[in-house]
């Protein structure tokens, strides 16, 4: 079994509805995102998936969030754009894009600071 990870980032604003503190006010982060994929078979050039392809698909998803007020994004109309929900959103958007490559997305980690991260992990 092989596992690959790539990282990227995006900048966005958000606020947490009904949060008892400063995060209830609009604020921004430079979100760091790491994804992990897993697979058993290497392709014809002996790689699991080209890092270039993995990064391209991650960037496509992150571009939807970049420089946005996440509370105005359709995915977060009825739920808070917390790190946890952002990780799940990225996972659900990215997983289908990677299926044709024969790899499985297993984890998306979103960090709003260097010391505060949340992951969505395939069950």
Of the residues 34, 57, 111, 112, only one is catalytic, namely: 112
Which among 123, 38, 53 has a CA at the least distance from the CA of 88?
123
29 assigned to a ligand binding site: yes
Q: Is 57 a catalytic residue?
A: no
23: helix, strand or coil? helix
The set of residues, in sequence order, having a beta carbon less than 8 Å from that of 115 and lying 6+ positions away, is none
14 assigned to a ligand binding site: yes
**For residues 48 and 106, what is the distance between their CA atoms, to the nearest angstrom?**
14
The pLDDT tens digits for 24-79 are 999 999 999 999 999 999 999 999 999 999 999 999 999 999 999 999 999 999 99
Does an H or E element contain 26, and which?
Answer: none
- Count how many domains the chain has: 1
- Domain at 59, CATH number: 3.30.479.10
Give the pLDDT score at 58.
Answer: 99
Tell me the pLDDT band of 123, cut-offs 50, 70 and 90. Answer: confident
Of the residues 3, 60, 67, 72, only one is catalytic, namely: 67
Domain residue limits at 101: 2-121
**For residues 74 and 78, what is the distance between their CA atoms, to the nearest angstrom?**
8
The set of residues, in sequence order, having a beta carbon less than 8 Å from that of 78 and lying 6+ positions away, is none
pTM of the predicted model, to two decimals? 0.96
Q: Is 112 a catalytic residue?
A: yes
What size, in residues, is the chain?
123
Of the residues 23, 64, 84, 104, only one is catalytic, namely: 23
The pLDDT tens digits for 90-109 are 999 999 999 999 999 999 99
């Amino acid at each position: 079994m092989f596992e690959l990870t790539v990282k990227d980032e995006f900048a966005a604003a958000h606020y947490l509805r009904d949060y008892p503190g400063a995060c209830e006010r609009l604020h921004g982060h430079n979100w760091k995102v790491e994804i992990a994929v897993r697979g058993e078979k290497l392709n014809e050039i002996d790689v699991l998936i080209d890092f270039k392809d993995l990064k391209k698909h991650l960037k496509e998803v992150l571009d939807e969030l970049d420089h946005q007020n996440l509370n105005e994004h359709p995915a977060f109309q009825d739920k808070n754009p917390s790190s946890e929900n952002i990780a799940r959103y990225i996972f659900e958007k990215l997983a289908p894009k990677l299926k044709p490559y024969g790899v499985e997305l297993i984890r998306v980690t979103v960090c709003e600071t260097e010391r505060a991260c949340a992951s969505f992990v395939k069950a």
